[in-house]
Amino acid sequence: MSPREIFALRDHLGAELKGRTISDAHDVVSLTDILSHTVLGGRLHELSGRAVLLKLSDQLRSGLAMIELDGIARRMLLCPPDLNPAHLDALIADAGIDAVVTDEPDRWAASGVPLVVTAQLPLQAAASAKTERATEWLMLTSGTSGVPKIAGHTLEALTGAIVAEGPARGPAPVWATFYDIRRYGGLQIFLRAILSGGSLVLSDPHEALADHVVRLKARGVSHISGTPSHWRKLLMSGSAAQFAPAYVRLSGEIADQAVLDGLKAAFPNASVGHAYASTEAGVGFAVNDGLEGFPADYLGNRNGVEMKVVDGSLRIRSARTAHAYIGRNAASLTDDDGFVDSGDIVELRGDRYYFVGRRGGIINIGGLKVHPEEIEAVINRHPDVRMSRAKSRKSPITGGIVVADVILADGTDPARAKEIRDQILELCRTQLASHKVPAVLRFVEVLDVTPAGKLARTDA
């Protein structure tokens, strides 16, 4: 037996709070009596001690299966919806998977995975299970083009920031996220909903944004998170006016001043803040002063999270980081001192650090390194701009030049396009070195956002 008491998700779900639900666009499931119900057809005991692949086509059953499996399975690997099926075999081998929870059992019949359990709604009544062990949570990293890396977490690490913040004051929050809960940013909201005694409203990739907002409003969502790209899409959609959350959070990409100001204007009564977190580094910190970047005195040891900047990139050591990459040829997740190198490049200006981009996202402009994000942050400051993407384009003269695609704010008069273009370029010239000023600026209707909610950077 473990010398310490182990808490699993079920141990946070008492029946004392009535009216708690987890819902998606189709179903509403009560959390109040969830412990006496099963999404696994009553087969949870078969999964005890197993390494379970959670491969479901929807978030609702995934979340319900997580609640059941945590504390029973030895490990569970969460598969986000955009996982390339070609990578499954490698992931199954690396994680030592010996069971799968799926809603498509026929597809797994001949897979070689010894145990296939079907997740199904509606829930069935079942005896409550008792926590047996600390389940290892395996999450996939996003943003890499090859086989994603598997980061190993414990529930304790995943919930470190939530426990540190303490319970939400006032009425139980109704949580929502634009993220999928099988990604780190979304999982944080799922766990907050479980631990903080509230409800959760899930997103649906097939639902139009306007319909999603209607649903968020109808369910009384008070706390909601997403990437800056998710939020810019909402601000552009014109749907924000019908919605008044109290708590708005951004993470997963750089939150620039323009999107923070845009959200503050759209939701004047909301607390608007951004958080720094990643699958590997865990939750680093939250910034709630309404400004981009973070105060320089966040470096050092703060609430158990140690941060330093080495070679421009942010390094984090805390009990909230993943503990290892999992797999046969897995790289080391931390350096010798236990710090995770985030790969996020920061720059000190005055008494504040600003995120300038990803180390791997640098574009080469005539031999000079440029972070597309710092160009986008300047373009986004123009009041008529909602979203932008900078990238490199080959040039026979200098090897490469910066070009930018720009989405104008809703309702901008197309006749002003030339005037706005000149203003944006002038803004860039005053704020950026000349080689970072876009050579060509295009106005576009849409910019691709990845399933993980981040601006697609195919050239980076």
Partner 1 sequence: MGRRVIKSRRNNEIDNKSEPAMSVRSKVIEAIQQIAKEQHVTLPALSDDLSLHETGFDSLAFAILVARLEDETGIDPFTISEDAAFPATVGDFVRAYENVPA
Residues that bind partner 1 (CB under 8 A): 366, 393-398, 401, 403, 422, 425-426, 429, 434-435, 439-440, 442
Shortest reach from residue 457's CB to partner 1, in Å: 19
The smaller minimum CB distance to partner 1, of residues 323 and 393, is found at: 393
Shortest reach from residue 425's CB to partner 1, in Å: 6
Shortest reach from residue 398's CB to partner 1, in Å: 4
Shortest reach from residue 391's CB to partner 1, in Å: 12
Q: Which long-range CB contacts under 8 A does 208-215 form with residues at least 24 apart?
A: 209/233, 209/234, 209/237, 209/239, 210/237, 210/239, 211/25, 212/25, 213/237, 213/239, 213/240, 213/242, 213/243, 214/242, 215/25
Q: Residue 301: which residues within 8 A CB-CB, separation 6 or more? A: none
Q: Residue 116: which residues within 8 A CB-CB, separation 6 or more? A: 99, 100, 102, 105, 108, 109
Cβ pair 225, 252 in contact under 8 A = no
The smaller minimum CB distance to partner 1, of residues 313 and 395, is found at: 395
Shortest reach from residue 412's CB to partner 1, in Å: 21
Q: What single string gives the DSSP state of each residue in 394-456? A: EETTTEEEEEEEEEEPTT--GGGHHHHHHHHHHHHHHHS-GGGS-SEEEE-S---B-TTSSB-
* Token pair belonging to 252: 């997963």
Cβ pair 279, 248 in contact under 8 A = no
The smaller minimum CB distance to partner 1, of residues 26 and 369, is found at: 369
The smaller minimum CB distance to partner 1, of residues 65 and 365, is found at: 365
Shortest reach from residue 382's CB to partner 1, in Å: 16
Tell me the C-alpha distance between 392 and 435, whole Å. 11
Cβ pair 66, 145 in contact under 8 A = no
* Token pair belonging to 22: 């987890």
* Token pair belonging to 357: 């981009």
Tell me the C-alpha distance between 404 and 420, whole Å. 14
Q: What is the 8-class DSSP label of residue 334?
A: S
Tell me the C-alpha distance between 81 and 317, whole Å. 30
The smaller minimum CB distance to partner 1, of residues 244 and 439, is found at: 439
Shortest reach from residue 393's CB to partner 1, in Å: 6
Shortest reach from residue 413's CB to partner 1, in Å: 21
The smaller minimum CB distance to partner 1, of residues 12 and 435, is found at: 435
Tell me the C-alpha distance between 257 and 94, whole Å. 41
Query: Which residues, listed in sequence order, are joined to residue 315 by a DSSP beta bridge?
Result: 308, 341
* Token pair belonging to 230: 């998710």
The smaller minimum CB distance to partner 1, of residues 3 and 396, is found at: 396
The smaller minimum CB distance to partner 1, of residues 107 and 442, is found at: 442
The smaller minimum CB distance to partner 1, of residues 296 and 439, is found at: 439
Shortest reach from residue 159's CB to partner 1, in Å: 50
Shortest reach from residue 256's CB to partner 1, in Å: 24
Beta strands in 45-135 (DSSP E): 51-55, 75-78, 99-102, 115-118, 124-125
The smaller minimum CB distance to partner 1, of residues 45 and 418, is found at: 418
Look up residue 34 and give its amino acid: I
